[in-house]
Amino acid sequence: MVRVSGGSPLRQVIAGASIGNAVEWYDFAIYGFLATFIAANFFPAGDDTAALLNTFAIFAAAFVMRPLGGLVFGPLGDRLGRQRVLAIVILLMSGSTLAMGLLPTYEAIGVAAPLLLLFLRCLQGFSAGGEYGGGACYLAEFAPDERRGVTVTFIAWSGVVGFLLGSVTVTLLQTVLGDAAMDSYGWRIPFLIAGPLGLVGLYIRLRLSDTPAFEALAASDEVAASPLQEALQTAWRPILQVIGIMIIFNVGYYVVFTYLPTYFIKTLQFSKATAFVSITIACLVAIVLILPLAALSDRIGRRPLLVAGSVGFVVFVYPLFLLLNSGSVLGAIVAHAALAAIESAYIAVAVSTGVELFSTRVRYSGFSIGYNVCVAAFGGTTPYMVAWLTGSTGNNLAPAFYVVAAAVISLITALTLRESARRPLPEGVTAEVAAR
């Protein structure tokens, strides 16, 4: 067993960093899957379409808040330490989700109900802005150089696990309780579950020490006085590179795991049960592939997998969308699983590549800024954009072109990167300066 500072096992460090990300994606998943019940309970009756649109507008608000969370929590993590900030963000994330399950409905308090829902959703997004970057940096700074890829990628892997957990939880409740009970009280249960999940994560995080890299920085009195300013001045190129490599990461993720279940039902006219089976298989494919591919990147490098994932989307996404639209249920499920496999290759290395670009002084700030700006611009907007393209063109294959465009941009960005696998993390200066 590998041991880290303070005697904490590496697997405990991985659990502490990953559980918060799993809770984040669980929270995002249950909101989407419960959208119709939320619309019925938090908006006036009479216009179901308007209520559903308002529900998704509140869903999107979290993505607007993510860059702000990154701008606040990233510099805090670079000044106060990773462990403290990660404890704060998991408390905010799980607490806001738990509070959603306790909210009174529109019928009880009127317009205050959707306003409170909006506030809690914004709090979710704000805390999420500090969660992903912080967890990735925390794992990177504990990991041995030769295993950093697979260690950091537990963050991405745990996100898929959290998404699947949310999907399965909501589906089981709907099956057991039925629509009437779900509409009355059942929709609250998945939100309430986030409370204990968050407490477990908080307990683990409070028992962990900070990273050896940050502790060494603090001991030598080299902690950045203004991490945000320093990151923007000295690490602007790595920030832009993170945005670039994360475009297909986010577009692919939200097409495969968020949009396609709706596409199965609305566009392909398959049943909800078929959509659930397909998204479950897609998630399982990702869960099985991501960590072995990340381990492979520790042997052959990050760039080969970044290039393979990008090129995979460019070459195969159109034929796979043709298969999705073939009319065959089996063919559509196979296509969905294949898209998840391509996305897995990219997920397996994108996060570790991103955190390896920054020095310890500004790693939390720099990665959080780049990642969250990309999520806000290309993550939360992707389901809307591909749905709009499909509707406005009347072409069911239109989402494939959007994915190809995103993949080309990320491929070009990946080709600007130097290989970072098995190299020590940059410490006193930015990776951009260190590379000169």
Q: What is the pLDDT of residues 132-175, one digit of tens each?
A: 999 999 999 999 999 999 999 999 999 999 999 999 999 999 99
Q: Over range 209-232, report the average pLDDT.
A: 91
Given this model, what pLDDT does residue 46 score? 74
CB burial of 24-57 (b: ≥16 within 10 Å; e: otherwise) equals bbbbbbbbbbbbbbbbbbbbeeeeeeebbebbbe
Can you list the domains of the chain with their CATH numbers?
A: 11-212+228-429 (1.20.1250.20)
Whole-number Å distance between alpha carbons of 357 and 431: 5
| pLDDT at residue 395 in the model | 93
Rounded CA separation 295/149 (Å): 6
pTM over 0.85: yes
pLDDT in tens, 40-90: 899 887 777 777 678 777 877 888 899 999 999 999 999 999 999 999 999
What confidence score (pLDDT) does residue 370 get? Answer: 96
Report the distance separating Cα 238 and Cα 354, nearest Å: 8
Contacts of 364 (CB under 8 A, 6+ apart): 73, 74, 75, 77, 78, 82, 85, 133, 134, 137, 227
Could you read off the pLDDT of 287-297 as tens digits, one per residue?
A: 999 999 999 99
Confidence category of residue 8, pLDDT binned at 50, 70, 90: low
Long-range contact pairs involving 269-276 (C-beta distance under 8 Å, separation at least 24): 270/329, 270/332, 274/329, 274/332, 274/333, 276/167, 276/171
| Distance from C-alpha of 76 to C-alpha of 86, rounded to nearest angstrom | 10
Task: Output the DSSP codes for 120-134.
Answer: HHHHHHHHHHHHHHH
Mean predicted lDDT score pLDDT of the chain: 90
